[in-house]
Amino acid sequence: MPTVQQPMPTAVTPELTKRRRGLPRMQELGLIVVIVMLYGLLTVAGWLNPIPTAWNSFLNLDNQVNGIGYAMSIYAIMAVGMTCVIITGGIDISVGAIMAFAALSGAYVLQFVPEHAPWYVAMPVAFGVPILAGALCGAINGAMVVGFRMHPFIVTLSTLSMLRGLCVLVFPNTVPVQGKTLPVCFVEIMSYGFGSRLRLVPAIIMLIVVVLGAIFLQLLVVGRETYAVGGNTEAARFSGIRVWWATMRVYVIMGVCAGVAAVVHLGKYNSVSTNDGNGYELLVIASAVVGGASLLGGRGTAIGALLGTLVISLIDNGILILRWRTDTTKIIIGASIILAVGIDNLSLYIMKRREAQVRSKA
């Protein structure tokens, strides 16, 4: 009996796999080129600054560490978590509210710690309470996305509103309240942890989060599951991946990152207001998207999130140096999101065409 020849499946060849893995590296390389160009332009602008200084107002070490590194640390930490969420095809626009709620929770508890408590008493409280509060908020977001099968935008829009209202109802307008202070060791460590005028601790925390995010996404099985869910949810489910848990996990990670950012925010200002964090979601999403995270899911890296945040922070810092109106930042960030998504769609189109050509030759 003659056998019927089955058509060969359109398997992903090693060449296609190499192309796909190389795309994030190309995006990161492109960001590095943009950063070098921005540094060159802002260096020239620093020399042309009409306000006389002893050194270039942009290249000044104080501006590099305290003006750029310290300022971007809050957004970069949350951008790593946002990248994980976007990779799965989700979104979280409640990050600013989560950060504010976590910071208020941490400050409220921390104000009852003795003012001169040792660091091994104050620091676990300072980090533990905001991280737990952020993780709880992230778990609630993830549970509603998975359990109710609601769109992440609707879920996080709702939690954004609820958390803002909760902050006003539960906490005083500003924490610590009048007559209370944060522990001295916490203020000193988060501001000038090494006895220097440079605020290095937030930047160190930021780099630790980026490294942990890179390990999670690139080296661990759970990271590959995250990419698989974002690339093709049904294929991931048929492959035995627990899609519900992979989705839930990234929202918890987002909450944890918001909690860590809340600690840095609290250390930066030594107090928290119920209005803090307004508009942070735009900066965080922009940082992740500019860093190469695809809103369609399946792509993004922690290093890209860091580079994307650096690009936006350089633009913001440059606006301050050039003495432009600060509202210009919002225009540039909005345009950056549109440009990044446009480039992402173009690169995806080019990649699909090349894949089709490779498959036709196979």
Q: Is residue 41 part of a domain?
A: no
Looking at residues 346-353, what average pLDDT do you find? Answer: 73
Q: Is residue 215 part of a domain?
A: yes
pLDDT score, position 166: 93
Confidence of residue 320 (pLDDT cuts 50, 70, 90): confident
Looking at residues 133-155, what average pLDDT do you find? Answer: 94
CATH of the domain at 222: 1.10.3470
Confidence check: pLDDT of 143 > 80: yes
pLDDT score, position 24: 60
pLDDT score, position 15: 46
CB contact at 8 A, 248 and 242: no
Q: Is residue 47 part of a domain?
A: no
Q: Is residue 347 part of a domain?
A: no
Extract the runs of DSSP E, i.e. beta strands, from the chain: 174-175, 272-273
Please indicate whether residue 309 or residue 30 has the higher confidence score (pLDDT): 309
Confidence check: pLDDT of 78 > 80: yes
pLDDT score, position 55: 57
Confidence check: pLDDT of 138 > 80: yes
Considering 15-19, 38-42, 129-133, the range whose residues carry the highest mean pLDDT is 129-133
Q: Is residue 238 part of a domain?
A: yes
Q: Is residue 141 part of a domain?
A: yes
Confidence check: pLDDT of 281 > 80: yes
Q: Is residue 323 part of a domain?
A: yes
Q: What is the DSSP string of 266-332?
A: HHHHSSEETTTTTTHHHHHHHHHHHTT--TTSS---HHHHHHHHHHHHHHHHHHHHTT--TTHHHHH
Confidence check: pLDDT of 350 > 60: yes
Confidence check: pLDDT of 235 > 70: yes
Among residues of the chain, what percentage have pLDDT more than 90?
Answer: 43
Residue closest to 251 by CA, chosen among 76, 75, 93: 93
Q: Is residue 280 part of a domain?
A: yes
Confidence of residue 53 (pLDDT cuts 50, 70, 90): low
Number of compact structural domains in the chain? 1
pLDDT score, position 332: 74
Q: Give this prediction's pTM.
A: 0.86
Residue closest to 186 by CA, chosen among 238, 248, 109, 258: 109
Q: Which domain holds residue 192?
A: 61-342
